[in-house]
Structure formats: structure tokens, C-alpha cells
Chains A and B, each alone.
Chain A
Amino acid sequence: MSAPETDFQEDRLTAYALDELSAEERADVERQLAGSAELQQELTELQSLVSDLRTELSAEAMPRLTEVQHRQIQTEVGVLTTVISEPVPLKTQNSTRRRSIRRWAILSAEIACGFAFVGAVTSFAWRGTLLSERMALDTASAKSGLGVPDNHPETYFANEASRVTGPRTADANFGTDNYTKNFMSEPEVFNVEAEVDQPDSVKQPGFIVRSSLHNTDVSDNLNRMDLQPNVEFNKELKSMASPDRVVASRKPKPHQVTEKARFNLVREQQFRYIPPESESRRSESADLQSGETYQATPENLFLTPAEQPLSTFSIDVDTASYANLRRFLTQGQLPPANAVRIEEMINAFTYDYPRPKEGEPFSVTADAAPCLWQRGHYLARIALQARTFDKSKRPPTNLVFLLDVSGSMQAANKLPLVKQAMTMLAEELNERDRIAIVTYAGDAGVKLASTPGHDQTRIMQAIEALQAGGSTNGAAGINLAYEEAIRHFNGEGENRVILCTDGDFNVGISDDDQLVKLITEQAKTKVFLSVFGFGMGNLKDAKLEKLADKGNGHYGYIDDMREARRVFNEELVGTLYTVAKDVKIQVEFNPLTVGAYRLIGYENRALAARDFNDDTKDAGEIGAGHTVTALYEIVPRGQWPKTPGVDPLKYTATKAPVPAPVAPPNNIPPEAADDLFTVKLRYKLPTADTSVKTVDYVVDDIAGKNIAPSTDAKWAAAVAAFGMHLKQSQFKGTWTLDDIYEAALSAKGADTNRRRQEFLDLIQSTKLLSSK
């Protein structure tokens, strides 16, 4: 402990550096500085530290308030004065954009239990009654925290909606009577769309009573949609909402909406967006269910070997897309194009691929056959089959379930299903395994500390006791889960966190980047993460996939008991155990034989050519027993480029020149001249950091050969064709749904797990839906 005087000195030096001293004190310090080189040095270091601190600190993120909150403030302040009744949020705080822009006040008042509060509701509907009515609401601010003035009956009105698409036409009367009618008792709710114009004369703050529209958790901080309603207000209401059906509720529910989305009126209690004309900022699919998001990725185009000889991508064993689109179709809806990932559809089926050799994590098959949906084209196939092992021979496993227990998880196809899935899995555990349960977003915390697998009683009791709802503890969640996993890390076995959610991401880290960082870091320390989506209406598909990707796990979607059984029982080893990670494929096409090629699917798995050999670049992992199939459509050389011929001239004797095809390079070794393509693969063993390269697999040209696709190849082709159909791909070729069905039927094979039959049924459903 240094002498007090010195401390005082130091203290003052700091204050001096920060300009906090009086003139007198300043002079004093300067005198001392003049006499001491040591002090000067001290000062310099201090100033440098301060400067660095300032730089780093000012770079820290400054999150703004949400759009909702801005509008609430504006309304309070009197800037926003119109009442709108359609679920489109205002874009900016700029008060000059008031006129003729669809927008909406996001407040809702709850008139129940004797108090009203203002919460954030982003969608609105009521039956038949008009939008433009005068309402008087009592608003009391106490509970809201939003500061609506006490004892202040506010009067609002809205102009006549310029366009209402409700089941009844809007009554254009401006009522002069105020009423405090609670609109929310109607059992059926619709969305309506309206344009409202600002009246010149009166400027009043606008509030509107909204009836609740079903669904969705909104506390997804990661989803930077424009509208992030205030969860806190409606927390207790979340548990009242069952996202799958409209609830007649007196309370408003938060709801997420994209900018400029318009709702369709739908009688069954789901609704979809109609994509806005303008592209959304984050290129997220506009074709959404309520709170669901899908990433829009343009499909792969044809490329020529001359320009792009190498095609590189990461494998993908996620099967979420298939389960998800199955969910849409069985509920009578066509899935949004962006929810369809063809590679995941193909990989959702089992195939008869050859077993891998001893010591190899997976086998590789590469071949080509005529393309069935486009005469003259080929379909190249690369197929991986991971080694599997019997459940009895699996490695010891340290599992932590991280469960979303927000109110919305109450629905039958969510937490109850999760519990059943967990039970199935837990039954398989033994004394070498450990299992823990951590919950978040509701009654959060460690619900089951890591327990040895044979203590079935305790485990089952904990699972049974799980409940959705309760208050949010923002801090618990993913960190707790990783802590539990690390505490009981098993060096000889598998360590995995399994996240089960319906989309709510309040896992305790609200910053996207931080979350990804955490997961990536943990994956490096061999605690992997798998993600399972349940239910609907709030699925953050792209986010979930990304997290699983970063966590060296896979992303699955569980829509029903059968899928749960498949994932957590029949294919348990695949779900839990990775046989190879960071698996990359690179294909080189021969310009002598290939005119153009197109990778079907894997759009969001593309890698740069140099990433293939770069071990620091992450790629997908393959679990035990999994298969991966990748398809390329190939246009043989000679048929590309597909320029239409020029018509012969009528009046001139000379012929128009036919464009010459691109001359191929002539430095190809003769023995490789009739290759079609070569496949290279790299992978890492689950605990390794450097990759292994497999041998090259060469596929010969099939021109002139009479080759028929194998059953598996044909099945994969049918699935791909179906996927392209759902995506309305420009490359789907000549096949109709009937053709797809025929091809699939002929390739059905033994179908012991009946999944292929289910696919055939889905085609039929789609036919019916498409013909509507």
C-alpha cells in the first residue's frame, strides 16, 4: 500500500488528465509535472489508456429502442395521431410521413380486471365492425409503465379506411358517440387492411383497442424484424395463446409483422402474408406465417466449366425443411418457397447406399444417369453413407436439454411432444451417460442437474414436471446449459446440448453475434449443439439452421410423434453422434464433356473453391447412419449454350452464322478426356482439427451409353423434382406433378419405414392444393 500522498498525487494526475481540476489545482499539477519525468511518463500512459478505452467503449453497440417503442413514445408525445387498424408498422419516426402511408399505432388497451394498460400489439382484427369509429378508452398508466397519463380519457378517431378487406364492408359512418365497447369478445378474428388518411383538423394521440390475434411469441431479440412488441406487457398473456388456433381473448397479444405486409383474410385460423412488392431489407422471405421467418436464397443457376470448373459446397444433413413442408401440406397449405430446401428433402429418406469400409467414416458413391425431367440432360449424383453402429455400441454421452418453456410451448405439438421425445431418448440411457435439463424463456433454470442415465426415476420425474409458462428469467438459458455440459464433460464420449424451441430465442443472450460466438467457441471445445424446432407460427428457420450449423450439430423439425420417434429413437445414433464434421465436397467438371452444370439445392451451403482446403472454414457434419445426396443437372457439351438458332433468311442468300461454342482447353490429359467430373471430399473426425482428404472419385461420360438410373437415384430425382416444383423453379423441366408421382411410385422400393409412401401422399396433397 503506497503512501497516501502518492495516491493523492496519482488521483490528481488522473483528474488532471481528464480535465477535472480547477485552474489552481491544474497549475499545481503542472508544476509537479515539470519537475518529474516519472510523472510525465505516468501521464502519457494514462492518456494512452484513456484514449484506447474511449475508442473501445464507443465502439460498443448502442441498441436503439424498438419500432414499437418509438411509436409508443410518439403517440404519447402527440406526434402520431392516427389510428390505424392494419397490421403494418410505420417505418420511421419521421413525423412528416404521416399522410397516406399505412401505418399503425401499436398500442392496445386491456380492459380487464379493472385496469387498462397499454401494450404492444402489432396485428388487429375484429369481426365486421368498422375501423373508423370513435372510441373512448379509459387508460390508466400505473401498470403499464408506459406512462399513459392517469385519469385521462382519451378520444380517438380514425378516418375512414380507404380499403378494408373484411368480411363485411366497413361502415363509413363516423360515429359521434364514444363508447368503451370491448371489441375483443368476438370469437372469430380477421385481419383487415386499411389505409388511413390524416385529417387536417385534429391532431390527437391515437390509441386503439385491438382484439388479439392469435399467436406468437415475440421475444425473439435475434429477429430484427421491424416490430418487436414489448413482451413484458403481455407476458402473462402468452400462456393464453395457443398459436394454432385463434383465441377469443380479451387481451391483446403481441404479434410480429414485417413491414408492409398485408394479410389475407383466411377463415381457418391461420393466415399468411402476401409478399410486398418491394424486397425486404434482410431478404427474408415475405411468404410467411405469422411470426415465422425463412431466408430467401436464390436457386443455383447453370454454370459452365470454362467459367467455373469447381463446384464446392458443405454437406447438409438437416431434415428440417422436409418435416416443415410436410407440416404445411398436411394442414392444407402450400409451403412458402423459401421454406423448401431440396437437399434436406432428399436427405430425409433412407437409401440403400453401400456401407463404408473399415476405418472410414462414410462411403462415397458417384454416378451419372440420364435426367428424367429434361431430355438430353444428365443427373449426376454424389452419395455419402455414414457408418452406423448399434445403439448398444454407442459411446457414452453427456447430454443437456435446453428447452424453451415460454407460454406458447403449451400447445400439444410442442412441449408435450418434446417431453415424449425426451422420454424416448432417456429410456435409452445407461450409467455411462448423463442427462441434464435446463429451461429458458419461462420458468427458467436447471430443472434437472446432470444425472447419470440409469437414474431413470429422477430423470422421468423431472421430465414429467416440465411446464410451459411462467415469468421470463432473461439471464438463464444457454450459458447454464453449456455450464452443465462442461461440468460433466466426457472426454471419451459425446457431449451435446440439444435445444428444443418453437422459435423463442430469449436464451439469455440477446445479441445475435454474441450467441453465435458462444456456440462456435463451445463447439471448438467439443460441446456440440443440435437444434430442434417444434410447432409453428414462430419458427425462425434460418436462425435455427445457422445455430445448429455453428454448433456442429444438425437442425431438425419435429412436427409429430412419428418424427419424434424417428429422430429420438429409431435414428437416435444419428441424432446424437457425429462420425465426421466439416465435410466438404468439391467437384471438378470436365469442359470437354460438360457444357453446363447446376447443383440442385445446397444454396446456402456454398463454399468458395479455396475454402475446400481451408480447415478454418466450417462445414456441415454427418451423423451416424446419415446419408447425404447431392444432385447436379448436367447439360452435355454441344447442347450448351442454348442459343436459339437464327431463322434462315428469306431475302438473302447468305446464312446467318451459328455462334460457335466456347472452345475447350486442350491441356486435359487424354485418359481424363472422357471424364464427366471428379469428386473430392474433405472431412474431419469429430475431435480432430485437421481435415482428411478422401481419394478422388471419377465419373465417366455416359454419352451414348445406355444407362438407367438406379432406384435410389430415381427416388432422389423425384424428390428433387418435387422440391423444384414447390419452389416453382425455372429449372423444373418438363415434369408435371403426375410425372413426379409416377417416377416416385416406380422407385418406391421396399419402403420399410413407410416414409416414401408418405411422400407420395404429399404429392397428391399438393396436386389438390395446386388445383384450387
Chain B
Amino acid sequence: MREPLVESSHVPNEVEERCPQTMDREFTEWFQGVVDQFEGPLVRYARRIIGDIERARDVVQETLLQLYRQDRTSLTGAIAPWLFRVCRNRALDVQRKEQLMSSATELDLQTLPGGTGPEEQLVQLETNDRLLGLLVLLTENQQEVIRLKFQNDLSYREIAEITGMTVSNVGVILHTGLKKLRSLMKDGNSVE
């Protein structure tokens, strides 16, 4: 497995019985490290789901605090999948509740310069944002898996854990997504 870009840190082994007013130095320091490391990627991820950056920030904050309050013995192994999963679930809750505009549209608006339909967007793309622009033409699942994989460097297994899909599902979706991207790049038309 290659070295992930976003380091999954592991929960320190020795933890005390949690009590909010006790200074648990080691855990706290670890936790702060986690915050530093993951807040950016998580907000970026949540924003894809929710669209609104303020809400995305809230969700991430809640997620991080939940991590802190979690029974530490239950947190074993890598922390990234846990964070992304919790974040994702919260974000989806928020999105459902508030009935925000579909992520797809919001994503269009955030990744591309102003314009209207996908055709215009294709035309308007500058070369170095090209892939990002094409990304919005994929299905939501494909986009999410691609982002989790290539933006947050999570493995198939971790992505499966986060999204609730099976591992092979993840592989298929990722592959189809990449395939579509390639054909889009080649001739601007959807193969499927």
C-alpha cells in the first residue's frame, strides 16, 4: 500500500477513563494534531456534499468533537475512515433536513467559472482545471469515490467503510468513473 497523503493517525494506546475536566494531555495533543491534519480535507469533503461552506464547517466541527468525546477504547486503528464516515453521515443528515439544492448543481457552480449548462462549462474550461470541470459530469457516487481516493488517499476498503458500499462496488464505481473521464477528455461526449 502506498503511503497515504493524509496520514491516518492512530489513537494512542494508553488512555485514561475519560472525564471532561481531566487534562488528558497525551490524548489532547493527539486530538489537536488530528484537528490540524483533518479539518481542511474534511471541510472540503463535507462541502461537496452540502454545498454551503458554513454548514460544512459546522458538520466538521461536530465530527471532530464527537471524536473527542468518543469512548476511546472503541477507536482503534486508523482515524481517517472514522472521521470521513461520521462526517459524511452528518453531512447527509444536514442535507436531507435542509433540502438544499442538489449537490450536483452546487458543485457545478463551485468548480467552474460562471456559466450555465455543462456544454458551456466544457467550453469555458481552462486546461489546468479541466479534470475538475469534467468531474461534475460524473455521477455523485463516482465523484465521491474519486475524491475519496485521489484527494484523500483512502483505500478501497476504507472508502467502502465510509460510504457503506462493498469493496468490489467501490472498485467498479471508481473504474467506471475514470473510464468516463477518459472518454470525456478524448472527445467531449459521454460513452455511456
Contact = CB atoms under 8 A, between A and B. Distances in A.
Interface of A: 10-11, 14-15, 18-20, 45-46, 49-50, 52-54, 56-58, 60-66, 69-70, 72-73, 76-79, 93, 95, 145-147, 149, 152, 203-205, 219, 221, 230-232, 473-476, 479, 482-483, 486, 506, 508-511, 514, 517-522
Interface of B: 1-2, 5, 20-23, 28, 31-32, 35-36, 39-41, 43-44, 47, 51-58, 60-62, 64-66, 68-69, 98, 100-101, 105-106, 109-110, 113-116, 124, 128-132, 146-147, 149-151, 155-156, 171-172, 174-175, 178-179, 181-182, 185
B61 A146 contact: yes
B124 A521 contact: yes
B68 A62 contact: no
A703 B136 CA distance: 67
Contact of A19 (B1, B65, B98, B105): B1
Given A58-B151, A60-B151, A230 B51 contact: no
Contact of B51 (A53, A61, A475, A506): A475
Given A77-B31, A146-B61, A221-B54, A20 B171 contact: yes
Contact of B110 (A52, A149, A152, A509): A509
B35 to A, nearest CB: 6
Nearest to B168: A11
A221 B114 contact: no
A56 B114 contact: no
B31 A65 contact: no
Nearest to B2: A19
Which 10 pairs between the two chains have the least Cβ-Cβ distance? A62-B40, A474-B52, A518-B114, A521-B114, A475-B101, A147-B65, A57-B151, A510-B53, A14-B175, A517-B113
A517 B114 contact: yes
18 contacts: A10-B175, A14-B178, A15-B156, A46-B178, A56-B130, A73-B64, A76-B20, A76-B65, A145-B58, A147-B68, A147-B69, A152-B20, A473-B98, A474-B52, A475-B51, A508-B109, A518-B114, A519-B114
Contacts of A61: 44
A473 B53 contact: no
Contacts of A56: 128-132
Nearest to B171: A15
A474 B100 contact: yes
A509 B174 CA distance: 29
Given A62-B41, A521-B124, A77 B32 contact: yes
Contacts of B51: 474-475
A509 B106 CA distance: 9
A64 B181 contact: no
Contacts of A95: 32
Contacts of A15: 156, 171, 175
Nearest to B103: A475
A65 B57 contact: yes
Contact of A65 (B23, B61, B155, B179): B61
A145 B124 CA distance: 41
A149 B20 contact: yes
A147 B54 contact: no
A232 B54 contact: yes
A40 to B, nearest CB: 16
A473 B97 CA distance: 12
B182 to A, nearest CB: 6
A497 B179 CA distance: 40
Nearest to A233: B58
Contacts of A72: 61
Contacts of A510: 52-54
B141 to A, nearest CB: 15
B73 to A, nearest CB: 18
Nearest to A515: B114
B52 A511 contact: no
Contacts of B43: 62-65
Contacts of B128: 56
Contacts of A483: 116
A93 B36 CA distance: 10
A518 B51 CA distance: 16
Name the residue among A230, A479, A482 with the largest chain B CB count within 10 angstroms. A479
B29 to A, nearest CB: 9
Nearest to B175: A14
Contact of B181 (A49, A70, A482, A521): A49
B4 to A, nearest CB: 11
A519 to B, nearest CB: 7
A452 B74 CA distance: 63
B92 to A, nearest CB: 15
A253 to B, nearest CB: 16
Name the residue among A475, A476, A510, A520 with the largest chain B CB count within 10 angstroms. A475
B150 A54 contact: yes
Given A57-B151, A78-B28, A232-B55, A486 B116 contact: yes
Name the residue among A15, A53, A145 with the largest chain B CB count within 10 angstroms. A53
Contacts of A476: 101
A331 to B, nearest CB: 32
Contact of B53 (A63, A205, A518): A63
Nearest to A523: B114
Given A19-B1, A20-B156, A57-B150, A50 B58 contact: no
Name the residue among B47, B113, B130 with the largest chain A CB count within 10 angstroms. B113
Contacts of A514: 109-110
Nearest to A230: B58
Given A62-B40, A204-B21, 17 more contacts: A45-B182, A49-B178, A49-B181, A49-B182, A50-B150, A50-B178, A53-B181, A54-B151, A65-B35, A73-B35, A145-B62, A474-B51, A475-B100, A475-B105, A486-B116, A506-B54, A518-B109
B114 A482 contact: yes
B113 A518 contact: yes
Given A11-B171, A63-B53, A78-B20, A57 B2 contact: no
Contacts of A203: 23
B46 to A, nearest CB: 10
A620 B48 CA distance: 36
Contact of A219 (B1, B54, B100, B156): B54
A20 B109 contact: no
A205 B21 contact: yes
Given A11-B172, A57-B151, A510-B53, A63 B62 contact: no
Contacts of B35: 65, 70, 73, 93
Contact of B61 (A18, A46, A69, A219): A69
Contacts of B151: 54, 57-58, 60
A324 to B, nearest CB: 28
B65 A78 contact: no
A149 B69 CA distance: 9
A146 B65 contact: yes
Contact of A479 (B54, B100, B109, B113): B109
Contacts of A230: 54, 58
Contacts of A52: 131
A64 B28 contact: no
A46 B182 CA distance: 8
Contacts of B31: 77
A475 B115 CA distance: 16
B100 to A, nearest CB: 5
A175 B147 CA distance: 54
Nearest to A50: B150
A475 B129 contact: no
A705 to B, nearest CB: 53
Nearest to A476: B101
A482 B181 CA distance: 29
Nearest to B115: A521
A600 B40 CA distance: 44
Contacts of B36: 93
Nearest to B36: A93
Nearest to B1: A19
A496 to B, nearest CB: 16
Nearest to A57: B151
